Amino acid sequence: MQKWFSASMLGVAAVSAVVGAGVTLSMTRTAGQASWPERIEGKPNFSGIWQANNEAHWDLEAHGARPGAITQPGAYPGEYAEVPAAPSLPFGAAGGVPGSIGVVKGDGKIPYKPETLKIKQENAANWVDRDPELKCYLPGTPRGMYMPYPVELTQSTNKLHVGYAFSASARTIHLDEVEDPPDELWMGHSVGRWEGDTLVVTVNHFNDRTWFDRAGNFHSNELKVVERFSLITPDVIQYDVTIEDPNVFTRPWEISMPLYRRMEPNMQIIEYRCVEFVEEFLLGMLRREPLVKRWESETMTVDITRKIPEGDRFYDWYGK
């Protein structure tokens, strides 16, 4: 019995040693794969496809889960009595809004002026009509960096190209001297400089047509954005942003989040050219005969009545 026990223990020890060696080798190989990208003229190389993994695209501020992107009062009064409104109802749980710890630094609140906070609240209440994302407009900066779509960075010695899957949009971060643009831009005008191994990008010359998220957070054409890109591991960028707009906010404020490298071996940007998908959403009310009028499922019917909003710049441009 003693001999059998000793032999068995010896066998277990041998197997453990082999398994341990295999684990060590596996960990070494995994660590070896995460090598730092080759630097460009002594500076970090941010080239790659990256994506945020958070809920900032819903709302930069911390927020609780909601039953729908569009809600209405439920059967009982009170703060937690909202139910999905008609446009959200058919989507069930897929139409809800997940909660989030938020990405706004400091006290977690965006410092609106009293009068502009009311506009933000009106935007949130009229989200389906006002959010530029639903119309497939260009996402703006920094919003394009944390939408739920990948972003490709391609770096050279004096430029960094930022390509977005959403709306097939793009911007160029200039690392050399360039002239200011002649007009306001959806994505802003981006000029970068190095502070050690951190890329600091100043973005301005914005128009006032983009939002920061789906919660109605907005800005004016006086927006100034300062981005900071820091490669904290080979596969993680620390992305910090300072936002300033004296027309809307009482002071500058900051957001912060990691961007993660997409690791699929065949990863590439697949353009989400959504313009054609929103034609009926944007212009369907201009048809002589409505095309989308009614939708029925096994459990509900949704009727659509289209109307042209008053005072909307987009529809004024198209004419009535």
Domains of the chain plus CATH, in order, are 48-54+103-261 (2.40.128), 65-98 (no CATH), 274-318 (no CATH)
pLDDT band at 311 (very low <50, low <70, confident <90, very high): low
Q: What are phi and psi of 132, to 5 degrees?
A: -60, -25
Note the pLDDT of residue 81: 79
Phi-psi sector, 315: left (phi>0), alpha (psi -120 to 50), beta:
alpha
Mean pLDDT of 70-87: 83
Note the pLDDT of residue 97: 96
Confirm if 85 and 68 have CB atoms less than 8 A apart.
Answer: yes
pLDDT band at 272 (very low <50, low <70, confident <90, very high): very high
How far is it, in rounded angstroms, from Cα 165 to Cα 175?
Answer: 23
User: What pTM was estimated for this model as a whole?
Assistant: 0.85
Q: In 3D, which of 143, 318, 148 has the Cα closest to residue 241?
A: 143
